[in-house]
Structure 1
Amino acid sequence: MWLRVTSELDMHLTAASPMLLLLRPRSDAHQWVAADRYRVTPDIDVAEYTDRHGNLCQRLMAPAGPFSIHVSADVRIRPEPVHVTDALFVPVEQLPDDVLVYLLPSRFCEADRLGRKAWEIVGGCRPGHEQVTAISRWIHSHIEYRTETDPTPISASEVLARGSGVCRDLAHLGMALCRSLSIPARITAGYVHDLEPMDLHAWFEAWVGGRWHTFDPTQARPGNRRVRLAYGRDAADVPLYHLFGPPAIPTRMEVSVETLTPAG
């Protein structure tokens, strides 16, 4: 399936400030980016680099005053299997080197504090995909999903105590619970087709059965029409933008996801 994803972000800066952006999708095992368009206004120099998670990051000096970012990409996605029954737990000693980092506690995922809760949720489940499915369903049933934007991330323990959160917060809780069971888990930011209300979204992936599998505790029946923007240990690794200066004043943000029928 082909999707066209678009983000338009307008803001006002009170002072010229260095900025990092994570708004350009990359091709990987899940998707192929056939074309993309990237524009900032005013027209200034932008440098790009790849971070340790493989994300395409843009680095620039944003000027004071009005500043706009427009990103659009045509992406061919590979739908994931909806039902997986044979993705079993991978022992830590057999994990690939680059996956090990997603086992460790992080700022927003206190895996070392949630082991008892995790075992309570997955009791009787077969180690692996079945356990992660139980965790995602438990979060969906017990944690209220709020769609309004909250600029301040909270940790998994705080989500559990509050009983509510935005998509990013529910992902943090799912990841922390998985890691407490020695299942690698990473946050994923991106686009979801037919998301209501439409916005950029966050979910998590868990490493079971020798590959990454998608889990989205905000959805009763998670769809598989997704375009990935960035991966990380938690939300600190996948901000849409990070400004090293006075806070920006957002004035407009529009996100769209539409299906395409390629010519020929």
Structure 2
Amino acid sequence: MFIRYGYEITIHCDNPTALVCLLSVHEDRAGDLLAPEATFTQPILPISTYFDMFGNKCRRLLAPAGDLTIWGDATIRDSGLPELAWPNAREVPVSELPDDCLVYLMGSRYCETDRLSQAAWDLFGEVAPGWTRVQAVCDFVHAHIAFDYMQARSTRTAYEAFGEKVGVCRDYAHLALALCRCLNIPARYVNGHLGDIGVPVVDPMDFSAWIEVYLDCGWVTFDPRNNIPRIGRIVVARGRDAADIPLVNSFGPHVLKGFRVWTYEVDGAPPQG
């Protein structure tokens, strides 16, 4: 199948402001693109690209004073299959983990492992380790937090979400991440596009957050917000938590004036160009 995805974001800056944007599809899906992503700004600005320490593609630019619109669009191939479960996957002892997994065991800005460790072991210490334990964490988080977009708060941490029992997809992800790390299971934060293919219509669309957990079969996707296998997940960026991978990181104040996201299946292979 083919999925068209994209975004249009408009911000206002009172003064020229440096930006770093993490909005492009992750390099591990670049080979599935029918053509390179189309990316434009209005007004037209020079943009440079680099990769951060987590392997995410970052676009760097200087926003002028006034309004700036950033627009991106592409079509990507996808298997069209729901994500697989790996019920026999096992946890990897910390002493045997790859070096680059260790950072995903540590506490981070939004994931206070020190404050949640006792709760994690009380809740899941007796659950069979491996995929079953991670799924138990996601089941708990899915039931524990009530989704409420009107109560979204950019500063809410995993510990606060645990206590407040309300949040949006990033809060589900942060709490599940923190609980997994408390249980010595490496877990990382992911954001990207997730449309409504195979599920009830989602309107308006937004970027989504989920998690990946390291087991003996490698990195495995879990989604405590939706908690069911989904079709057409498109990774944009990965990090320790949302602080590592903001969609737009501005080095100065800005005001969001417009935000639009699209992700939908298209029939046949669109022309490349």
TM-score by length of 2: 0.90
1:1-264 alignment, distance < 5 Å: 1-28=1-28, 32-35=32-35, 36-78=37-79, 79=81, 81-148=83-150, 150=152, 152-194=154-196, 196-197=202-203, 198-246=205-253, 248-260=254-266, 261-262=268-269
| Residues 203-257 of structure 1 deviation map (CA, whole Å, 9 limit, x = unaligned) | 11111123111111111424142000000001111101011112x2212111111
Residues of 2 paired with 1:32 and 1:98: CA distance? Answer: 26
| Residues 137-183 of structure 1 deviation map (CA, whole Å, 9 limit, x = unaligned) | 10111111123473523211111111111111111100000000110
The alpha-carbon deviation at position 92 of structure 1 amounts to: 1.0
Task: Give % identity.
Answer: 37
Structure 1 gap segments, 5+ residues each: none
The alpha-carbon deviation at position 30 of structure 1 amounts to: 9.6
SS in 2 for 1:218: coil
C-alpha RMSD over aligned residues: 2.0
Residues of 2 paired with 1:128 and 1:170: CA distance? Answer: 20
Structure 1 window deviating more from structure 2 (7-16 vs 46-55): it is 7-16
Residues of 1 paired with 2:12 and 2:62: CA distance? Answer: 14
Instruction: Name the CA shift for 1:209/1:29 in 2 (closer, same or farther; >3 Å).
Output: farther
Alignment check: 8 A CA contact 1:26 1:33 kept = no
Residues of 2 paired with 1:257 and 1:186: CA distance? Answer: 23
Residues of 1 paired with 2:251 and 2:151: CA distance? Answer: 21
Instruction: Name the CA shift for 1:148/1:238 in 2 (closer, same or farther; >3 Å).
Output: farther
SS in 2 for 1:93: helix
Instruction: Name the CA shift for 1:155/1:213 in 2 (closer, same or farther; >3 Å).
Output: same
Residues of 1 paired with 2:8 and 2:29: CA distance? Answer: 26
Alignment check: 8 A CA contact 1:33 1:74 kept = yes
Alignment check: 8 A CA contact 2:138 2:227 kept = no
The alpha-carbon deviation at position 196 of structure 1 amounts to: 2.2
List 4+ stretches of structure 1 deviating above 6 A.
none
SS in 2 for 1:168: helix
Amino acid corresponding to residue 257 of structure 2 in structure 1: T
TM-score by length of 1: 0.93
Alignment check: 8 A CA contact 1:30 1:77 kept = no
Residues of 2 paired with 1:153 and 1:240: CA distance? Answer: 15
Residues of 2 paired with 1:143 and 1:259: CA distance? Answer: 30
- Alignment length, in residue pairs? 263
Structure 2 gap segments, 5+ residues each: none
Residues of 2 paired with 1:97 and 1:29: CA distance? Answer: 24
The alpha-carbon deviation at position 56 of structure 1 amounts to: 0.1
| Residues 35-92 of structure 1 deviation map (CA, whole Å, 9 limit, x = unaligned) | 2111111111111000011000011110010100001122223556433211110111
SS in 2 for 1:6: strand
Instruction: Name the CA shift for 1:148/1:168 in 2 (closer, same or farther; >3 Å).
Output: same
